[in-house]
Structure 1
Amino acid sequence: MSKLVIGLIVFLWGMLVANASSQSGIVTSIQVRDDGLHWIYLNGARDERPACASGQVYWMIKDENSLYGKSQFSLLLTAYAAKSPVSIIGKGSCTRWGDGEDIGTVQLR
């Protein structure tokens, strides 16, 4: 019985991770709204997006007030200023904004 539960959990986790998208390219635009909302556009191909973000191409910083959110913004701003390529791996969710995928990882190239 416990093997079945563990197998189900692993399967469901795999489904969640499979829905996350990724993209590599140059940051073309960074938008910040007065309520703290941060969203980013990259050029370059993006693989399949989760259903919640299927109609949009931007990325969202999930929590701009957290340490990781500030770090993500700092890396993205640095990449924008230097025109350096980045890679973004999504979370497969649209928590911060209903149709923008949350950023999970930012890699400065």
Structure 2
Amino acid sequence: MKLFISVFLLISSSFVFAGSVTGTVSRIIVRDDGLHYVYINGEILNRAECAKDYKYWMIKDENSTYGKSQYSLLLAAKASGKAVYIEGAGTCMRWGDGEDIKYVSFN
């Protein structure tokens, strides 16, 4: 029984919480060092621990195909005023306190 409990605790402690949000794009920022991030008007659910004090979402790799696609989709959402859904990756790899975007879709 102790072994079962130990294994359960080990596995459950390795789960990463990822945030999500549904809402309209309020701001998109692109800095001169290439950092791309976005603010969404909406309630953030289950925010990753590394980003719990901040409301912006990071495009993890703005030079990749998926990063360019995410940026394009977010620009289109901002221009149209339509809501988007963002699912976070549960990590803050691109910036230490901004959750990386895993998934973006129009609602």
Aligning the two structures, in what range does the TM-score lie when normalised by the shorter sequence?
0.7 to 0.9
| Residue in structure 2 matching 1:90, options 63, 88, 91 | 88
Which residue does 1:58 correspond to in 2? Answer: 56
Q: Does 1:15 align with 2:15?
A: yes
Alpha-carbon displacement from aligned partner over 1:32-90 (angstroms, at most 9, x marks no partner): 00111001000111112111101100000000000000000000000000001000000
Structure 1: runs of 5 or more not aligned: none
Match of 1:26, SS state, is strand
The equivalent residue for 1:46 is 44
Any stretches of 5+ residues in structure 2 without a counterpart? none
Deviant stretches of 4+, over 2 Å = 11-14
Aligned residue in 2 for 1:68: 66
TM-score (norm 1): 0.85
RMSD: 1.8
Larger helix fraction of residues: 1
From the CA coordinates, give the structure whose radius of gyration is larger. Answer: 2
In structure 2, what residue type is equivalent to 1:15? F
Please state how far the C-alpha of 1:14 moved relative to its aligned partner.
Answer: 7.1
Q: Secondary structure at the match of 2:43?
A: coil
Q: Deviation per CA, 1:12-38: give whole Å up to 9, x if none.
A: 59712xx00100000000000011100
Equivalent residue number for residue 106 of structure 1? 104
